[in-house]
Structure 1
Amino acid sequence: MIKRGVVVIHLPFVYEGVVSSFVSMALRLFSFSGCRSFLREHISPKATLCALRQSGWIESRLGAKRHLLSDDVVKLEDFQRKKLAVAHLITGSDGNFIELYGHKLQRNSLLLQDELHVLLHLCRSAEDMKTARDAVYRYHAENRNGKYKFGPVFIRLCYELGLEKMAAATLTDKEMRGFFSDFTSFNIGIDMLFVKGYYDDALEVLQFMRRQRVPFNKETLMLASAVCYKLNTTESHAICTSLIEEAQVKGRSVTRHAYCFAVALALKQNDVQRAQALFAQIVSTDRICQNLKILLLVMSGATQEAIVDLSSAVQLSKSPSFFRKPEFSQELLDQMRLRIVGEAQATEAEQVISELERAGQVTRQTLDDMLCHTPTAPKRKMAPIVREKRTSRRIRKPLHSTLTSE
């Protein structure tokens, strides 16, 4: 219960007064201005890095490296800084709070939104997450129409701690229907499963999301294309094609990344005609698209056109250094060599490839590496601090001296 900015928490168990005061302090961090100002004044980026190392969060993040969603979508760093802010205020007491919260669950006491909010920002281990999981199940059963959505917070915790199986099980549990009410939680969960290689589980989450009529956004469609690409089956190819066609018909946005996964999958399935139709929708000339185009030309029998494109890339190697020169995968060029053995263009193709190698335009990265990359999130500009004007507009002197002289 919050009245006039004062947080009142009722914890009907041991240490009620002590823990309640910690909760009150922590919750003030989540006000619109309080959280930002506290983070700027008390939790510097350097302090954040040190704290993450000491607490083991760096190691957990290495296990949950993003490959598809950028940080502005996952928002893992923002979440971790909020956790640090709460831990900063409740130093030495976070374990007690989680233990006491467990006792509260055992006593079947009433769960309050504010307490759960703090609990989820104190979890640091798989053991803590067992308490958190039990808490969200109880809270959801008692508060089906709660205003605050805890789904994304819970899934970010799973992402941070490497609990992808717990995330998948909770996302697809019918008892939790409505708890994950939008695409954010599902997207983060699917991304986590994709990174760990649990593609069948990721597809199951997508299918559950579909059955629950949770709308797909452009990131969901990209993740679906990526999962289908990794599964590389006739069924996954049909699912990917169907989802993209549906989005096109309904006028929804389809990202370049989603199209690239779909094209690569079609080529893996030897569906060159479908790959050509999908590639025609891409209006980009980045490195992934350049490599996909060469592979598409070779597989469609347009070898001479592929050689012409590679020759053009060689000419760009003579451009000034600040121009980004096209790079081609060694794996892709090797495939091209194998496909044109004995053909009339084989000698010409070998010469062009050799020139690309000498120009440093051949990379060890595979096409799969290029596709499964972490996009760079746009940098957010910090709003400038507006200082109160302290000069007189009339005579351009400091305000205090003008007042005293008058």
Structure 2
Amino acid sequence: MQPDGELRGDGVHVGGDARQRFYDSGGYGRPLGGNAISLTPLEAAHLLFRGDLGAVTVGGEALGFEAFFVHAAAAGDRFAVRFLVYSDLRDRGFYLSPTREGWPGHNRLAGTNADFIVYERGASPPDGDVAHRLRVVGERESIPAAEIDGTTLAIVDEESDLTYFETRTADPTGETDYGPPTDLPGVLLEDRVVVWDAPTDLYDRGFYGRPLSGRAATIDGALQLSLLEAAFLAERGALRLDETLALAGAAGDAERSDGVGTDGTGGGASGADEADDEGSDDAEGAADAIRRRGRAVEGDRFDRRLRVYADLRERAIVPKTGFKFGADFRTYLHVETVEDLPHSEHLVRVIEPDHAFVPRELSLDVRLAGGVRKRMVFALTDASSIDYRSVARITP
């Protein structure tokens, strides 16, 4: 015969041999005096579901699993989705402690937003090794980006399927040993910079830009740089803008901005009002001109992406566009030559620190990264700091 429980306040009291039967052997509840224990409603529902608890008395009425489940769910606190995750992990052989004051292991959750401590298989509360600090999230809830830091997310979709994501703080470092040359002359175009006579190793070893080449090409050494690459090089004194060619290009822009494009149609302005500034033999002036052009074509997002690009380069990591993967960057930790280029290891998406994910967005990013054998990294970026968060799908 199975023991019964009684709801007392916010816990379910179980007497008899409950301590040996449930706490010592299964990690359920918290000990009271003698052999009695107190269960959370979630734990009590799971024991009812398994048939290990006979009933729970609520207000003088003995409730079986169905009635008690409805009663507990009516009290809120995402009971239904938390029950699904709790049951799934119990079925996988894990002991769990709920995050409730006074329950085993509660003090090991300081600073997290977890719902459960999940112990390593074979370990039990309160002192066993921790496998996951687990946070349960429904498909329609939001997840602040700043909070995906060391917790495991258990996302419950509308059909009650579960997906688990491991999150952690990342500190990416690379081993690319390349210092660009100085005083490279470049020409600022609409949304990129061309270096007409770039040294070979700028691309081959530093993996900057993309050669302007083709079967019928009549020139050698021309390299197209993105605005991010050009701004980074200019900020470090490696790139200047050729004033003569830049002003000539700006004059052409001004002519088109008067209303006549090169095809005879109305032309859009492309920075003609900056013509006096965009040609500069000075690296600092070049960097400023390129940054202003970046903001003109991309808005404030350009500055955030530039901060992350520069930080990755300073970490000896080579960032390249992640456009094909729906990300800001793909990254290479160790580049010796482009001819012997390894696979990129990460996809990086730049977001603001107050960004909040919807689970579908997070799932899409992580699934795509995993599908191309990369790990998803989010760079939380504001004017003064960059924090990296790494996310990957796991099976507990």
TM-score bracket for the superposition, by shorter chain length: under 0.3
TM-score between the two structures when normalised by the length of structure 2: 0.26
Q: Which has the higher helix share?
A: 1
